[in-house]
A and B are shown apart, each in its own frame.
Chain A
Amino acid sequence: MDNVIRLKIHADFEPDLAAYEPNYGREFMDRVMSDRNKTQWNKVNSHTMFQYTNNVLKNSRGFINPNKMPTLEKLRLLTGMDRCQLMLLKYDRGETCLYHVDRMPRWDLINNPNDTIPDDLDDFDNHQYIRMLIMPRDRAPGQYMQFGDIMLNDWKAGDAFYYRGVEVYHSAGVCGYEPRLAIRITGLRTPKFDQFISCKDHYL
């Protein structure tokens, strides 16, 4: 696959998934969008604004609770990213993240009370940050994802995808009855991470 590195994480994610809570606040987004002077609008990813203004449903998100999700928490060490943020994304039927490239603004991380962000980073377009996705369940009918010109409907539990989200356009959505879960890992690249992606199979 061009622009995408595909890995396999062998683990039983299922017990942890039951502890999912959509605890990622949308306060920043609501505050920005309600600003009639639009002074803050450039801090929001254009596709997010597109979805917001066109009433296109967006997926919910929740931070990983290390106490209730010990297997997922191990991914922090396994991937070796610095300033690592672990998040579970849940797409119910009709929920999407339309075609976009990532902007990694500070607000995307500061909602996590355990994260501190250095002051010298930009407010957005944070190219220092990288992201990868891990699929904890097999794909069910009506679930889709896309990276660049790759369109996927055939992943298995444990499939992991690393791609340059700030450069490669991507999207995901669900029109089926089963929710689509994805573990999103954001952080700073380290030599340990490079070692991690150079190996195709990992065991938790």
Chain B
Amino acid sequence: MIVDYITQIPGGFETPSNDYKGKRYRTVLFLDDFKIAQFYEVNNVLIRNWKKHELFTSEYGEEYASMNLSLVTRKFCVAYHDNRKISMLDIINKLQENIGDIQ
């Protein structure tokens, strides 16, 4: 599993992409509640009204993009993985592992 931590300042974005880093699934772990003007879409379908710590999984082949047009920074973790089932704990543990590698 590959985990990225993304901080998206106002105006920050991810270009529309099909890059799943060689994995089958891409799961976003939202670290803040949804706010108006914070866009996240998969295959042209807007995802909204998420809650903090909610997960959203897309599958290889589905295009994703995001853009923050609100005036506050938002944060999320992104996990690329092969097993369909994934939990917040899996992502956090992997992230901590990565941080351990840095230390």
Interface residues of A in 168-191 (CB under 8 A from B): 169, 171-177
Give the residue of A56, A93, A151 whose beta carbon is less than 8 angstroms from that of B15.
A93
Interface with B: A9-17, A37-45, A46-54, A101-109, which one?
A46-54
- A98 to B69: give the CA distance in the assembly, Å: 5
Residues of chain A contacted by B16 (CB below 8 angstroms) = 141-142, 175-177
Q: How many residues of B contact A (CB 8 A)?
A: 21
Q: Does A85 contact B (CB under 8 A)?
A: no
Which residue of A has the minimal Cβ distance to B43? A141
B46-85 interface mask toward A, CB cutoff 8 Å, 1 = contact, 0 = none? 1010000000000000010111011100000000000000
Q: Does B102 contact A (CB under 8 A)?
A: no
Minimum C-beta distance from B33 to chain A (A): 14
Q: Does A153 contact B (CB under 8 A)?
A: yes
| A141-B44, A142-B67 known; A175+B14 contact, CB < 8 A | yes
| A50-B10, A93-B15 known; A175+B36 contact, CB < 8 A | no
Q: Does A129 contact B (CB under 8 A)?
A: no
Which residue of B has the minimal Cβ distance to A140? B16
Which residue of B has the minimal Cβ distance to A95? B11
Give the residue of A54, A142, A149, A153 whose beta carbon is less than 8 angstroms from that of B10.
A54
Residues of chain B contacted by A149 (CB below 8 angstroms) = 36
B16-44 interface mask toward A, CB cutoff 8 Å, 1 = contact, 0 = none? 10000000000000000000110101001
Q: How large is the interface on A (under 10, 10 to 19, 20 to 34, 35 or more residues)?
A: 20 to 34
Q: Is B13 in contact with A47, judged by CB distance below 8 angstroms?
A: no
Residues of chain B contacted by A62 (CB below 8 angstroms) = none
Q: Does A99 contact B (CB under 8 A)?
A: yes
Q: Which residues of B come within 8 Å of A, CB atoms?
A: 9-11, 13-16, 36-37, 39, 41, 44, 46, 48, 63, 65-67, 69-71
A-B contact pairs, 11 of them (CB 8 A): A51-B11, A57-B11, A98-B69, A98-B70, A142-B13, A142-B16, A146-B36, A169-B37, A171-B37, A173-B39, A174-B67
Q: What 6 new A-B contacts, CB under 8 Å, besides A96-B69, A169-B37?
A: A56-B9, A96-B11, A98-B10, A146-B36, A153-B39, A177-B16
